[in-house]
Amino acid sequence: MKYTEIMVRYGELSTKGKNRRKFIMKLAENVRQTLGEFPKIKINADRDRMHLLLNGEDSTQIIPKLQKVFGIQNFSPSIRVEKDVAAIVHMAQAMMKERYSGTETFKVTAKRSDHSFEKNSGELNVLVGNAIIDLFPKIDVQMKKPDINLRVEIRLDGAYLSCETIKGAGGLPVGTAGKGMLMLSGGIDSPVAGYLAMKRGVLLEAVHFASPPYTSEQALRKAKDLTKKLTPYGGSISFIEVPFTEVQEEIKRCIPQAYWMTVTRRMMLRLTDAIRMQQNGLVIINGESLGQVASQTLHSMVAINEVTSTPIVRPVATMDKLEIIELAQEIDTFDIAIQPFEDCCTIFAPPQPKTRPQLEKVQKYEGRIDVAGLMERALANLKFEEILVSSSNEVSEFDEFL
Ligand code: ATP
Ligand code: MG
Measured by CA distance, the residue closest to atom 4 of ligand 1 is 187
**pLDDT on residue 235:** 87
Min mean pLDDT across 13-17, 135-139, 258-262, 306-310 is at 13-17
For position 47, which CATH number holds?
3.30.2130.30
User: Measured between alpha carbons, how far is 53 from 28 in angstroms, rounded to an integer?
Assistant: 13
Residue 394 lies in a domain: no
Mean pLDDT throughout 218-231? 96
133 and 17, same domain (yes or no)? yes
Task: Tell me which of 133, 167, 201 is where a domain ends.
Answer: 167
287 is in an annotated binding site: yes
Mean pLDDT throughout 289-296? 80
Read off the pLDDT of residues 249-272 as tens digits, 9 standing for 90 and up. 999 999 999 999 999 999 999 999
Question: pTM here?
Answer: 0.89
**pLDDT on residue 85:** 95
Residue 65 lies in a domain: yes
Task: Tell me which of 167, 187, 213 is where a domain ends.
Answer: 167
> Is the pLDDT confidence value at 402 over 70?
no
**pLDDT on residue 293:** 73
> Is the pLDDT confidence value at 91 over 90?
yes
Q: Is 260 in the pocket of ligand 1 (CB under 6 A)?
A: no
Name which residue leads in pLDDT, 347 or 378. 378
Q: Is 292 in the pocket of ligand 1 (CB under 6 A)?
A: yes
* Atom from ligand 1 closest to the CA of residue 207: 29
Residue 392 lies in a domain: no
Mean pLDDT throughout 383-389? 95
Q: Is 188 in the pocket of ligand 1 (CB under 6 A)?
A: yes
314 and 189, same domain (yes or no)? yes
Task: Tell me which of 125, 142, 167 is where a domain ends.
Answer: 167
Residue 361 lies in a domain: yes
| Domain count along the chain | 2
| pLDDT above 70 coverage of the chain, percent | 95
Mean pLDDT throughout 183-207? 97
Q: Helices 59-66 & 20-34, crossing angle to 10 degrees?
A: 130
| pLDDT above 90 coverage of the chain, percent | 82
249 and 202, same domain (yes or no)? yes
Q: Report CA(187)–ligand 1 centroid distance (Å).
A: 6
* Atom from ligand 1 closest to the CA of residue 210: 27
231 and 330, same domain (yes or no)? yes
30 and 125, same domain (yes or no)? yes
Residue 258 lies in a domain: yes
**pLDDT on residue 350:** 75
Residue 161 lies in a domain: yes
For position 306, which CATH number holds?
3.40.50.620
**pLDDT on residue 14:** 55
Domain carrying residue 289: 179-387
Q: Report CA(209)–ligand 1 centroid distance (Å).
A: 9
162 and 229, same domain (yes or no)? no
> Is the pLDDT confidence value at 61 over 80?
yes
**pLDDT on residue 398:** 32
Phi-psi region of 81 (alpha: psi -120 to 50; beta: other; left: phi over 0): beta
**pLDDT on residue 11:** 80
Ligand 1 site-directed mutation target among 190, 308, 318, most atoms within 8 Å of CB: 190
Q: Report how far apart the first and last C-alpha atoms of the chain are (Å, whole number).
A: 27
Q: Which phi and psi (to 5°) does residue 126 adopt?
A: -65, -45
Residue 54 lies in a domain: yes
Contacts of 170 (CB under 8 A, 6+ apart): 11, 12, 70, 72, 73, 199
> Is the pLDDT confidence value at 49 over 70?
yes
Give the pLDDT band (50/70/90) at residue 18: confident
Read off the pLDDT of residues 196-222 as tens digits, 9 standing for 90 and up. 999 999 999 999 999 999 999 999 999
193 and 157, same domain (yes or no)? no
**pLDDT on residue 340:** 86
